[in-house]
Amino acid sequence: MAKRSLLNQGRAAHVFLIPWWLGLALVTAVPLLASLYLAFTDYNILSTPEFNGLENFERMFQDEYFWAAVRVTAVYVLVSIPLQLGFALLLALILDRGLRGLAFYRSAFYLPSLLGTSVAVAILWRQIFGDDGLVDRGLSLFGLELGSWLQNPSLSLSTLIVLNVWTFGSPMVIFLAGLRQVPEELYEAAKVDGAGVVRQFTRVTIPLITPIIFFNLILQTIGAFQTFTQAHVISGGTGGPANSTLFYTLYIYQQGFLNFDMGYASALAWVLMGAIALITAVHFVLSKYWVFYGDD
Amino acid sequence: MTTATTSLESARTPAKAAARRRGRRDVLKHLGLGAFVLLMLYPLVWMIASSLKPDHLILTEPGIIPSEITFDNFVEGWNALNRPFTVFFLNSLVVTVGSIIGNLFSCSLTAFALARLEFRMRKLYLAITLVSVMLPMHVLVIPQYIFFSQFDLVNTYFPLLVPKFLATDAFFIYLMVQFIRTIPRDLDRAAWIDGAGPFRTFWYVVLPLMRPALVTTTIFTFIWTWNDFFVPLIYLTSPKMFTVPVALNSMVDSESQSGVGMLFAMSLVSLLPVLIFFAVAQKQLIRGIATTGLK
């Protein structure tokens, strides 16, 4: 009887999983292999792909746009993620201890995260940092005449960094949920042992939420590597001025869908995936040294 | 007797003082946080104010409160492109509703099988689902584009909708699996004893109990699809098919003709559905992020 029902379940499972199977095959696995193949070809969508060995990868080394894209994306990730997570943690700590109006603050700080990747907010950012925008006018009160940040290659990337930091609300909400899990007794015990506020923070709070910090770090880093919309709208799709906002995904888009150089674009995409996989793996390895998963 | 009262009083006063001190600290905290909220939301407030100002005032009048209010930006902006925004809103609505239906259908089926049914390689399937969450879409998008263009489906909504019906938003599968695991298995067993097979168990027992997970999926699918720019930008080539973000972007390109005020007005209008969803579903949203880390 039990055996019959088990067989029955197995058969049913395959019916339930039909959409998933089709998706895995047609939307994920086949395209993944196809793009791996295309990465070693010259292909412009009209003619048939022509195998060209490692040419695409060799080309990358010579390609100043590729290096510009790598630099822009790396700077963006390295600067904006620590700032964003720092703000998120700081605000979560301030809000954590039984403050009235928590729900209001949480919603207010979370709102930018919802809107941050929209075209509308990118348009807004163009105006804020553009000629005579909010920032330009604000700084001129202090005698600083920087003009449009968007036209200035040394400032344009920072507008996008500010935009990413502005969306600290979603990691903050995750931090808040994590801080709730820290047992009150531990603070009491630390207090009895004579630990002050700072000690409680460094010896109790931080160790116990390292898994949440790690989780946020991975999630936000992977997301930041794939930033596209903001860069596209801010620079009008060019990645300018002087390639200063040429995000990696924007460059893939330009090569694949504007130049229809799909072989090269596939190679670029695989390098991106390799980089993300590598960085995630490194994070996991390093996590052994700083992430605390309880006594078990 | 007297000693008792004094000791009681002296015990109470420091407590009171501490409470008062904490009260004062909270006031300072609220002042600081309030100022920070204002700073954070100032750009949005500025956008709202600017959309109500005539063009010549937007970049010359620094304050938030408009000296002159006009709705021209909305009226003219709505018709600034060759088609009225009504078209783009309807397109976005079709894509968004389609995506929601697709995700609810395909992810719930998958999640039920992965969370409840016994079959070989179940753990492997679950692992594949989790790993695919991290897969950057940029590696897949070029072959997908070639695939859809071979079937002449570029410039239709199929490339946007088909993946949703094939359970490719693995985040939601994960969310639903987690949720189904909290539903007592006794309910399944009771249904089984009553003669229900896996399909009826899914439809009549588990699915109704999954409502919170379905609501979260609906909200996030709505917001993500509504804001999505990359995929529609690639596939939708003719303006009559544009979703709102793509239309907005094309308005930026013709900014010189359309003017800043209209751009602000239409940007604001494009955010309204998300803002409304946020206002209505805040609680589920926050709970959703807190439990799964969705953005």
Q: Which chain A positions have a beta carbon within 8 Å of B23's beta carbon?
A: none
Of B246, B268, B293, the CB nearest to A219: B293
Of A9, A112, A273, the CB nearest to B119: A9
| B227 with A232: Cβ contact below 8 A | no
In the predicted structure, residue B258 carries a pLDDT above the cut 80: no
**Residue B23 confidence class, pLDDT cut points 50, 70, 90:** confident
What pLDDT digit, counting tens, does each position of B58-67 carry? 777 767 787 8
Say what the pLDDT of residue A110 is: 93
**B284 touching A (Cβ < 8 Å):** no
In the predicted structure, residue B20 carries a pLDDT above the cut 80: no
State pTM to two decimals.
0.90
Chain A neighbours among B 14-43 (CB < 8 Å)? Answer: 26, 29-30, 33, 36-37, 40-43
Cα of A230 vs its chain's centroid, Å: 12
Each residue's pLDDT tens digit in chain A (296 positions)?
Answer: 444 555 567 788 889 999 999 999 999 999 999 999 999 999 998 889 999 999 999 999 999 999 999 999 999 999 999 999 999 999 999 898 777 888 889 999 999 999 999 999 999 999 899 887 888 888 888 888 788 898 899 999 999 999 999 999 999 999 998 898 888 888 889 989 988 888 888 888 999 999 999 999 999 999 999 999 999 999 988 998 999 999 999 999 999 999 999 999 999 999 999 999 999 999 999 999 999 876 54
Of B50, B248, B268, the CB nearest to A119: B248
| A111 with B263: Cβ contact below 8 A | no
**B94 touching A (Cβ < 8 Å):** no
Structure tokens at A32: 């993944």
In the predicted structure, residue B82 carries a pLDDT above the cut 70: yes
Q: Which residues pair with A42 in a beta bridge?
A: A50
**Residue B244 confidence class, pLDDT cut points 50, 70, 90:** very high
Distance from CA of A27 to the nearest CA of B (A): 7
The three state secondary structure string of chain A is CHHHHHHHHHHHHHHHCHHHHHHHHHHHHHHHHHHHHHCCEECCCCCCCEECCCHHHHHHHHCHHHHHHHHHHHHHHHHHHHHHHHHHHHHHHHHHCCCCCHHHHHHHHHHHHHHCCCHHHHHHHHHHHCCCCHHHHHHHCCCCCCCCCCCCCCCHHHHHHHHHHHCCHHHHHHHHHHHHCCCHHHHHHHHHCCCCHHHHHHHHHHHHHHHHHHHHHHHHHHHHHCCCHHHHHHCCCCCCCCCCCCCHHHHHHHHHHHCCCHHHHHHHHHHHHHHHHHHHHHHHHHHHHHCCCCCC
Chain A neighbours among B 138-167 (CB < 8 Å)? Answer: 138-147, 149, 162-163, 165-167
CB-neighbour burial class of residue A62 (10 A; exposed 0-12, middle 13-18, buried 19+): exposed
Chain B neighbours among A 90-119 (CB < 8 Å)? Answer: 91, 94-95, 99-101, 105-115, 117-119
Residue among B229, B252, B242 at smallest CA distance from A229:
B229
What pLDDT digit, counting tens, does each position of B171-189 carry? 899 989 989 998 898 888 8
What pLDDT digit, counting tens, does each position of A235-268 carry? 988 998 999 999 999 999 999 999 999 999 999 9
Provide CB contacts within 8 A for A49, sequence distance 6+.
A37, A38, A41, A42, A43, A263
Of B142, B168, B202, the CB nearest to A266: B142
**Residue B5 confidence class, pLDDT cut points 50, 70, 90:** very low
ipTM value of the model? 0.90
Q: Span B106-132, mean pLDDT?
A: 91
Q: Which residues pair with A41 in a beta bridge?
A: A51
**What distances in angstroms separate CA B111 from CA A59, A231, B221, B235, B288, one per listed residue?**
44, 35, 16, 29, 17
Structure tokens at A244: 């200063």
| B117 with A16: Cβ contact below 8 A | yes
Give the mean pLDDT of chain B: 87
Distance from CA of A155 to the nearest CA of B (A): 19
Sketch the domain layout of chain A as residue ranges: 2-38, 57-290
In the predicted structure, residue B114 carries a pLDDT above the cut 80: yes
DSSP state of B65: S
| B41 with A266: Cβ contact below 8 A | no
Other Cβ atoms within 10 Å of B156 Cβ, number = 15
Say what the pLDDT of residue B138 is: 92
Q: Which chain B positions have a beta carbon within 8 Å of A16's beta carbon?
A: 109-110, 112-113, 117, 198, 202
Residue of chain B whose alpha carbon sits nearest to that of A180: B290
| A26 with B223: Cβ contact below 8 A | no
Say what the pLDDT of residue B291 is: 66
**Residue B257 confidence class, pLDDT cut points 50, 70, 90:** low
DSSP state of B239: G
Contact A263, B174 (CB under 8 A): no
Say what the pLDDT of residue B2 is: 42
Contact B243, B81 (CB under 8 A): no
In the predicted structure, residue B3 carries a pLDDT above the cut 60: no
Q: Span B101-117, mean pLDDT?
A: 95
CATH superfamily of B74-292: MetI-like (1.10.3720.10)
CATH superfamily of A57-290: MetI-like (1.10.3720.10)
